[in-house]
Amino acid sequence: MFSAGAESLLHQAREIRGEELRRFCSRVSQLLQKDLGPNTADALQRLFLIISATKYNRKLEKTCVDLLQTTLYLPTCPEQLQLLCVAVLREMSPSDSLSLSCDHVQNSRQLSLVASVLLAQGDKEVVRSVGQRAFKVLESRQPEGPSLRYLLPVVWKVASLVPGALSEDHTNLLSKRLVDWLRYASVQQGVTHSSGGFFSTSRTRQPGPVTEVDGAVATDFFTVLSTGQHFTEDQWMNVQAFSMLRAWLLLSCPEGPSTPDTDDKSELEGSTLSVLSATSAASRLLPPQEQLREKAFEYCQRLIEQSCRRALRKGDSDLQKACLVEAVLVLDMLCRQDPSFLYRTLSCLKALHTWLCGDLACVQALLPIAQFFLNHGEAAAVDSEAIYQHLFTRIPSELFHSPMLAFEFIQFCRDNLPLFGRNRGILKLSFPNLFKFLAWNSPPLTSEFVVLLPALVDAGTAVEMLHALLDLPCLTVALDLHLRSSPAASERPLWDASLRAPSCLEALRDPQFQPLFQYLLRATASGTTERLAPLHQLLQPMASCARVVQCAQAVPTLLQAFFSAVTEFADGALANQLALLLLERSDSLYQVPQYEAHVHRVLSSQFLALCKLHPVLVVELAKELLEFVGSTSSPLSTGLMRTSVVWAIGEYLAVSWDRRCTVEQINRFFEVLEALLFEVTQSRPSAALPKCPPQVATVLMTTLTKLASRSQDLIPRVSLFLSKMRTLAQSPATSSVRCEDASGAVCTRATELLNLLKMPSVAQFVLTPSVEVSQPRYHRDTNTALPLALRTVSRLVEREAGLLPGEGTVTR
């Protein structure tokens, strides 16, 4: 989001048209020729804003473009102005009006400016020429002048844009330079430059050695974690070389090492002693790429040793964490490119993991360590289960409130699903812990979990996971209370400080409810389920908390993903369990605003999906379904779930779906649904019992008609009831149906069903088609849909009564 001032400037920039832009370009041209000061800088900033504020290219005057290019070559031009010129020219790219060339540029800083514009053009030949020039300057080894630091980003950009742009000689040259910068940078601090003041002296103070982050004098080679007051040029190159090391290793050797022979390599991989016998002297005889890998390995080991020191400054402590992560990632890449590093790395990372387990301050490094063992654990015959157990058990429980860690953790799980292999069970059983990340950080993680859920759920965890998803807002409250009750002080509360809920905190400490909270905050799947309804009322004061509301908004999407995965493998037994769970939980949800309505919409559709997948569950769960539709605890007029159950009964309670279906079952369901329809349509509306929605009445009427077509003794009863419904719908004053349009819908449906029942054999064919007919689902075709069949029958009955059997000849 931009501030009001920034929005105003962007609006003004977008409103500038051609003539006004030409006048402004003329002013910029005059300033570039006369004044290379603050006024020109201000004008260039405005010009950059103008051309970058719109999605289409702005055309600048040729004179202005030429002067912008010329300014890049002026040795006396301030660096700020040159950077602004580069920004404007890059924003114009790709453009045919540029005439820049780097063929004769010797200055590395100037070359980086020109190359920045040329590389933005996207022309492969131009990219190759920039790379050639950069390496010529790199080969020159200029003792004086601008630093080579400007060249490394150019070389990296060239290699990434056109991987084949660098020749083998170029690759070897840069690898040799990186070896020198990484391993042989000076260990003495840089010289302090005298300001030349009155008290300055001609004698310069001898620079001291660089130090470690804990203040000790460095006794080993310089790294990015070495500290000092001033740094030499090669020390700056050391820092920059490490920053691009991993990317360069990937680009320069993407397919692994080219040494040695197969027999030698297998022997090298199989013997730790043979690996450890390699000496520094021998490494100097290796090809440049292998030398770089060897020095990179030494550098990473040194960084790991430095990261275990206690830093004196917070900035150094943060740098330690970042370098530790990068060092492990580089080691992982080295082992993938050359397995001879594997055995040397294993012992180092095992010791590092042991140290990190006791210090959650560097928890970010645990993910790349786990990544390393996922990649190489099997090849090294190492049992890594303890590493995964610690990762999935302790980290989410204690650090669920870290948004960056949450995102990285879930990304790690997503990206490595194919690698978990036999350890997939640990991942699946840890879903309650992973849900803590989701409950606390639901907006950014919802889409990640939609992808991850299919890998977490199986037949053994499906029921428990569905309960957990429905209780996710409750978990958010429990995590909030857990943080509030934590003795660890925090500079800034992680919870909503404006919301005070002392009664909820008391419930957290109450021994009567502690088992429920412990179950809610469990780390792994328990294989059991707990009824959390007692907590719903206790935690109601926190239902309006913003974080809880956000979490509740994510649940419907997650439920859709869950059922999409479950229906791929659910058998009849699991489908029955899930259907019962949907019935049970439909009136046992945490009362977050709008949560129940949105969840009911999903549960009702998914109940129908389960019935379609396993139609026999309607007969198998006949007792439970009867209790559900006959219950008065949740009126049908307010529940999508109950409407879906009624529809499923009408659709699947038939011998054609399950031969165990009996006339007695049909009659029992008919009586319950008949009483229910009478209750919701003929009771006088009130605050406790609102008017009946028309879709509820029509679903009930249709289901009763379907049941009657299968037990034809019921046809007179349902015909009488439908006639009463039609009469009731035509009398709005006494109707409990909502409006005139709704009354018309009920009246029309009652008339259609009555007409259909006048021909019982046709009614049975239309309302209970055989499996052969229903499997292709012909009735979903608009040309053969049920409404069309009903209308056809209505016309036959009403307008062509003379053609009915006994009064004419009809071909049936």
Contact 746, 721 (CB under 8 A): no
Q: Which tens digit of pLDDT belongs to each residue from 318-332?
A: 999 999 999 999 999
The pLDDT assigned to 360 comes to 77
| pLDDT band for position 167 (cuts 50, 70, 90) | confident
Average pLDDT over residues 303-326: 91
From residue 748, give the alpha-carbon distance in Å to each of 739, 759, 781, 786.
14, 18, 22, 14
| pLDDT band for position 279 (cuts 50, 70, 90) | very low
Greater confidence (496 vs 778) lies with 496
From residue 230, give the alpha-carbon distance in Å to each of 215, 404, 474.
15, 33, 54
Q: How far is CA 745 from the centre of its chain?
A: 44
Average pLDDT over residues 369-383: 84
Contact 753, 705 (CB under 8 A): yes
Q: Is the pLDDT assigned to residue 263 strictly greater than 90?
A: no
Contact 183, 284 (CB under 8 A): no
Residue 217 forms beta bridges with which residues?
211
Helix (H) or strand (E) holding 89: helix 79-92
Contact 208, 186 (CB under 8 A): no
Closest of 807, 694, 708 to residue 756, by C-alpha = 708
Q: Is the pLDDT assigned to residue 808 strictly greater than 50?
A: no
Greater confidence (677 vs 467) lies with 467
Largest CA distance in the chain: 129
- Reading the block at residue 614, the tokens are 């396993």
Helix (H) or strand (E) holding 394: helix 385-399
| pLDDT band for position 257 (cuts 50, 70, 90) | very low
183: Cβ contacts below 8 Å, ≥ 6 apart: 221, 295, 298, 299
Average pLDDT over residues 355-383: 85
Per cent of the chain over pLDDT 90 is 31
Integer Cα distance of 644 and 601 in angstroms: 10
Place of tokens 């940078």: 185
Q: Which tens digit of pLDDT belongs to each residue from 608-619?
A: 999 999 999 999
Q: How many CB atoms lie within 10 A of CB 62?
A: 11
Extended strands (E) in 706-771: none
Average pLDDT over residues 46-59: 79
159: Cβ contacts below 8 Å, ≥ 6 apart: 131, 165, 166, 248, 251, 252
Burial class (CB in 10 A: 0-12, 13-18, 19+), 99: exposed
Q: How many CB atoms lie within 10 A of CB 623?
A: 10
Q: How many CB atoms lie within 10 A of CB 315?
A: 10
Contact 370, 360 (CB under 8 A): no
Q: Which tens digit of pLDDT belongs to each residue from 201-229?
A: 445 566 788 899 898 998 889 999 998 88
Greater confidence (504 vs 665) lies with 665
- Reading the block at residue 112, the tokens are 């980086």
The pLDDT assigned to 777 comes to 54
Burial class (CB in 10 A: 0-12, 13-18, 19+), 409: buried
498: Cβ contacts below 8 Å, ≥ 6 apart: none
Q: Which tens digit of pLDDT belongs to each residue from 507-549?
A: 888 888 888 989 999 999 988 888 888 888 888 888 888 999 9
Contact 640, 687 (CB under 8 A): no
Phi, psi at residue 484, to the nearest 5°?
-65, -35
Average pLDDT over residues 279-306: 82
Q: How many CB atoms lie within 10 A of CB 196?
A: 6
Range list of H helices, 457-545: 462-470, 472-484, 502-509, 514-520, 533-538
The pLDDT assigned to 323 comes to 93
Q: Which tens digit of pLDDT belongs to each residue from 170-204?
A: 888 889 999 999 999 988 887 765 544 444 444 55
Integer Cα distance of 441 and 234 in angstroms: 44
The two counts, helices (H) then strands (E), for the chain are 42, 0
The pLDDT assigned to 631 comes to 74
Kindly calculate the radius of gyration of the chain based on its CA atoms and give it in whole angstroms: 37
Q: Is the pLDDT assigned to residue 18 strictly greater than 50?
A: yes
The pLDDT assigned to 556 comes to 96
Integer Cα distance of 699 and 648 in angstroms: 10
The pLDDT assigned to 497 comes to 60
Average pLDDT over residues 135-145: 69
The pLDDT assigned to 785 comes to 59
Mean of all residue pLDDT scores within the chain: 81
Q: Which tens digit of pLDDT belongs to each residue from 563-603?
A: 999 999 999 999 999 999 999 998 889 999 999 999 999 99
Q: Which tens digit of pLDDT belongs to each residue from 666-710?
A: 999 999 998 888 887 766 555 444 566 778 888 898 999 999 988
Contact 604, 583 (CB under 8 A): no
The pLDDT assigned to 547 comes to 92
Greater confidence (141 vs 331) lies with 331
Integer Cα distance of 483 and 588 in angstroms: 26
The pLDDT assigned to 493 comes to 62
Secondary structure (DSSP) of 528-542:
-----HHHHHHTGGG
Q: What is the dihedral of CA 10, 12, 14, 16, to 10 degrees?
A: -150
Least confident of 94-103, 488-497, 524-533, 785-794: 488-497
Range list of H helices, 259-313: 262-270, 272-276, 280-283, 288-307
Q: How far is CA 322 from the centre of its chain?
A: 23
| pLDDT band for position 723 (cuts 50, 70, 90) | confident
Integer Cα distance of 392 and 604 in angstroms: 34
Q: Is the pLDDT assigned to residue 259 strictly greater than 80?
A: no
The pLDDT assigned to 188 comes to 87
The pLDDT assigned to 11 comes to 66
Q: What angle do CA 732, 738, 744 make, to 5 degrees?
A: 60
Average pLDDT over residues 385-402: 89
Q: 3-state class of 457 per DSSP?
A: coil
Q: Which tens digit of pLDDT belongs to each residue from 83-109?
A: 999 998 888 888 777 888 888 888 888
DSSP 8-class letter at 468: H
Burial class (CB in 10 A: 0-12, 13-18, 19+), 670: buried
DSSP 8-class letter at 496: -
The pLDDT assigned to 632 comes to 57
Average pLDDT over residues 128-136: 88
Phi, psi at residue 209, to the nearest 5°?
-75, 155
The pLDDT assigned to 65 comes to 87
Q: Is the pLDDT assigned to residue 43 strictly greater than 90?
A: no
Integer Cα distance of 730 and 743 in angstroms: 7
Least confident of 12-26, 113-127, 721-735: 721-735
- Reading the block at residue 808, the tokens are 């004419």
Burial class (CB in 10 A: 0-12, 13-18, 19+), 775: exposed
- Reading the block at residue 315, the tokens are 């900035």
Q: Which tens digit of pLDDT belongs to each residue from 394-448?
A: 899 989 999 999 999 999 999 988 888 777 888 899 999 999 999 999 999 999 9
Phi, psi at residue 236, to the nearest 5°?
-65, -40
